A and B are shown apart, each in its own frame.
Chain A
């Protein structure tokens, strides 16, 4: 089946450790996005990529890093510099960067203890 897959669904890490969240899509989409979701707030854009080997910072990029070495994959690393990393992380992809439907994964809930 075509779709966008995030793994793992739940992730626990100790404070001060880096952690990488996986996002894979087989929709042949050029654009991919990472959002953070906190209770009572909308989805906030962390990073986005419109083409392989290129990505841009979103509104809350500090403490995060990404790579886009393959069209299908857009992993997100939450570094120890992120002050409040516990959140629900959503990955999305779209056919183009503008004015097209974004398809979301099922999310990864990260808890830092």
Chain B
């Protein structure tokens, strides 16, 4: 089955800097890669997703890149703000999603 690994487990950045979170996956048949943001005590919310026929997708300050050959995908957040502080999860799969272990992002003001 699919296995998704996520790095780093924690990330601290200064407000205004960029943050990058990376994930690798094992199943070459996986074709859907969403990213979720989870705030304390709440359920995860989708922030961006990418499908395997696309290499990059951008939505304002957030972008995701996918390298199918290397089986890795990354989340890029530019101009970070304190409200970006949360836990971020990547996921991959086809019939069912497998989630990474999560990254705690802290944006220091």
Minimum CB distance partner of B5 in chain A? A42
Stretch at the interface among B11-19, B56-64, B90-98: B90-98
Complex interface: chain A residues within 8 A of B99 (CB): 35, 42-44
Count chain B CB atoms within 10 A of each CB in A6, A100, A102 and give the residue with the most.
A102
How far is A44 from B96 in the complex, measured between Cα atoms in Å? Answer: 11
Contact flag A104-B95 (CB < 8 Å), given A42-B89, A42-B102: no
State whether the Cβ of B26 lies closer than 8 Å to any Cβ in chain A: no
Size class of the contact patch on chain B: 20 to 34
A105 touches B49 (CB 8 A): no
Q: Mark A88-113, 1 if CB is under 8 A from B, else 0.
A: 00101000011111111111000000
Minimum CB distance partner of A107 in chain B? B43
How many chain A residues touch B (Cβ–Cβ < 8 Å)?
Answer: 25
State whether the Cβ of B31 lies closer than 8 Å to any Cβ in chain A: yes
Q: Mark A41-69, 1 if CB is under 8 A from B, else 0.
A: 11111001000000000110000000000
How far is A35 from B43 in the complex, measured between Cα atoms in Å? Answer: 11
How far is A48 from B51 in the complex, measured between Cα atoms in Å? Answer: 22
Complex interface: chain A residues within 8 A of B44 (CB): 43, 90, 104
A98 touches B32 (CB 8 A): yes
A97 touches B96 (CB 8 A): yes
Q: Mark A19-41, 1 if CB is under 8 A from B, else 0.
A: 00000000000000101000011
B95 touches A97 (CB 8 A): yes
How far is A43 from B42 in the complex, measured between Cα atoms in Å? Answer: 13
State whether the Cβ of B86 lies closer than 8 Å to any Cβ in chain A: no
Contact surface of B with A, Cβ cutoff 8 Å: 1, 4, 6, 9, 31-32, 34, 36, 41-46, 49, 51, 89, 94-102
Other contacts beyond A104-B44, A105-B43: 17, CB < 8 A: A6-B43, A33-B96, A41-B101, A42-B98, A45-B97, A45-B98, A98-B32, A99-B31, A99-B32, A99-B51, A100-B32, A101-B46, A102-B97, A104-B36, A106-B41, A106-B42, A107-B41
